[in-house]
Amino acid sequence: MSTCRHSISINPRAKLKPTSPDPTDSRKNHIPPIHSPTVLQGRNELLIPSTTKLKLDSLAVNSVALVAGSEHSADHDDSPCLSGLVHGFLEEEDSDFAHESTNGHGSDSERVDLVIDCTDFVEDTIRSSSDDSYRNLLFFHVSKAMEGFSCLRNQRPVLRRKVMSFLRELGHNAAICKTKWESSGGGLTAGSYEFIDVVLQLKSPSLQTRYVVDLDFASQFEIARPTSQYLKLLHHLPRVFVGKSEDLKTIVKSISDAARRSLKSGELYLPPWRKNRYMQNKWFGPYRRTVNPLPANSFTSPPSVNVVKCRRLGFDAAVNGRLFVRT
């Protein structure tokens, strides 16, 4: 039996007054909701500029558009479906790969330089995301959720849904995204994947931004016998990714290319589940969206003997607006 170490107190409906950050404040675990005046005034730990004026009130309305336990196909979901846009992108990538194969493998020094360039590109892309105030707030909330539910780290489907529910309680339009695709020509292998997405609906109904929250991001790019340069790239990848979908698309492409070069330098075969097309489908393939707080097989799977369990008190209470984790 294991219990979580940290204590988190949430009241998403509280009307917080704008205050300046107090370094002596002992309430370090307090999490402001997204519509909190304190958040919009700019707190140091959130890295939100005080001049930023986000119109987040519509989030509270948008977040109730999805009913708990419901499933939404990509064709009927309110969040932007990227499947069609990505299809052309993936086909173009396959053509690029074929072109490179036709023109030779390149020297070892060229491959090293390309991986170094990829590392710099990924670092710059992730660093530039810190200019996004909403992304910073979302990252802060995800980090606190991961900290509070750390005892569920060996139960990834459950942890993912706890984090999703936690974000929804704070007003984010968060849901579990389930991608699934079939085998097709060009070496694409069938597969499926799960992550969290958050749709930011601003004042205009036509303005939406989709954010991806992946709790197992870096591990998706591990390969056999990686070069030292590729290991350095993996070291710079965030274990938990929080960012815009368009940023993720370019990052995945760059890392997939680097993985291919790393394997090629060791004269290893590129497995179909590490090809760029397969990796892109993990986050941008046909998907369904659900806000069900329980995994689909939670009622049918037999209990595991070695599963680490959290006490009921302190976790299920999150749906009531307050969460306390025993120390």
Half-sphere exposure (Cβ direction) of 148: Cα atoms closer than 13 Å: 28
pLDDT at 112: 57
Query: Is residue 314 in some structural domain?
Result: no
Identify whether 70 is part of a domain.
no
pLDDT over threshold 90, residue 9: no
Q: What is the pLDDT of residue 67?
A: 36
* Average confidence (pLDDT) over 175-202: 92
Nearest to 18 by CA among 35, 43, 52, 41: 41
Residue 15 lies in a domain: no
Highest mean pLDDT among 9-13, 41-45, 291-295: 291-295
Task: Give residue 99's pLDDT.
Answer: 41
Q: Whole-prediction pTM value?
A: 0.65
With tokens 């707190």, the residue in question is 43
Distance CA 269, CA 230 (A): 16
Q: State yes or no: pLDDT of 179 exceeds 60.
A: yes
- 17-39 tens-digit pLDDT: 333 334 344 444 455 555 443 34
Q: Is the pLDDT of residue 281 over 90?
A: yes
Is residue 256 in some structural domain?
yes
Give me the pLDDT at residue 298, please. 54
Of 59-63, 95-99, 124-128, 302-306, the range with the highest mean pLDDT is 124-128
Is residue 231 in some structural domain? yes
Q: Which of 7-16, 85-94, 182-191, 234-243 ranks highest by mean pLDDT?
A: 234-243
**pLDDT confidence of residue 45:** 37
Determine the pLDDT at residue 231: 92
**CA atoms 4, 139, 76, 276: torsion sign:** negative
**Confidence label for 4 from pLDDT (cuts 50, 70 and 90):** low
Q: H/E/C letters for each residue in the chain?
A: CCCCCCCCECCCCCCCCCCCCCCCCCCCCECCCCCCHHHHHCCHHHCCCCCCCCCCHHHHHHHHHCCCCCEEECCCCCCCCCHHHHHHHHHHHHHHHHHHHHCCCCCHHHHHHHHHHHHHHHHHHHHHHHHCHHHHHHHHHHHHHHHHCHHHCCCHHHHHHHHHHHHHHCCCCEEEEEEEECCECCCECCEEEEEEEEEEECCCCCCEEEEEEECCCHHHHCCCCCCHHHHHHHHHCCCCEEEEHHHHHHHHHHHHHHHHHHHHHCCCCCCHHHCHHHHHHHHHCCEEEECCCCCCCCCCCCCCCCCCCCCCCCCHHHHHCCCCCCC
Contact 36, 141 (CB under 8 A): no
Give the pLDDT band (50/70/90) at residue 129: confident
Residue range 234-240: mean pLDDT, rounded: 92
Compute the average pLDDT of residues 132-139: 95
Q: Is residue 94 part of a domain?
A: yes
Residue 220 pLDDT exceeds 70: yes
Closest by CA position to 221, among listed 295, 282, 308:
282
pLDDT band at 132 (very low <50, low <70, confident <90, very high): very high
Average pLDDT over the chain, rounded to an integer: 70
Q: pLDDT (tens digit, 9 = 90+) per residue, 94-128?
A: 444 444 444 444 555 555 566 667 778 888 888 88
Position with higher pLDDT, 126 vs 259: 259
- pLDDT above 50 for 299: no
- Distance (Å, whole) CA 4 – CA 314: 10
Q: Is residue 222 part of a domain?
A: yes
The CA distance from 66 to 68, in Å, is: 6
The total number of structural domains in the chain stands at 1
Least confident of 135-139, 178-182, 218-222, 313-317: 313-317
Domain that holds residue 249: 83-290
- Kindly state whether residue 169 falls inside one of the protein's structural domains: yes
Reported as a pLDDT band with limits 50, 70 and 90, residue 3 is low
